[in-house]
Amino acid sequence: MILPGKHLKPDRCLLGVGAALLELLHEERTVSGLWDAYRKRGAVTFDWFILALDLLFALGAVEMKKGILSRRTP
């Protein structure tokens, strides 16, 4: 689920989806704006999108301030 495996392609695992989301966060976006941008290139459900976003929050890769998502800088 988190990592790709025998039955899960790299672009559909949570880390793969999370990597694609980080690419789209080169500029700040709302969650719905990020979903709209990702939906054009990805083929996962909104649930899977939210799980990947949750993983990015847990890893400390993204942050949200006043409803706006951005990459977290080290």
Cα separation, 31 vs 65, in Å, equals 12
Q: Return the CATH number of the domain spanning residue range 14-71.
A: 1.10.10
Question: Model confidence over 11-70: pLDDT tens digits?
Answer: 889 999 999 999 999 999 999 999 999 999 877 899 999 999 999 999 999 999 999 999
pLDDT band at 73 (very low <50, low <70, confident <90, very high): confident
Answer whether 51's CB lies under 8 Å from 59's CB: no
The residue ranges of every structural domain in the chain are 14-71
Write down the pTM of the prediction. Answer: 0.90
> What's the pLDDT tens digit per position in 4-17?
888 888 888 999 99
Tokens in use for 70? 């951005």
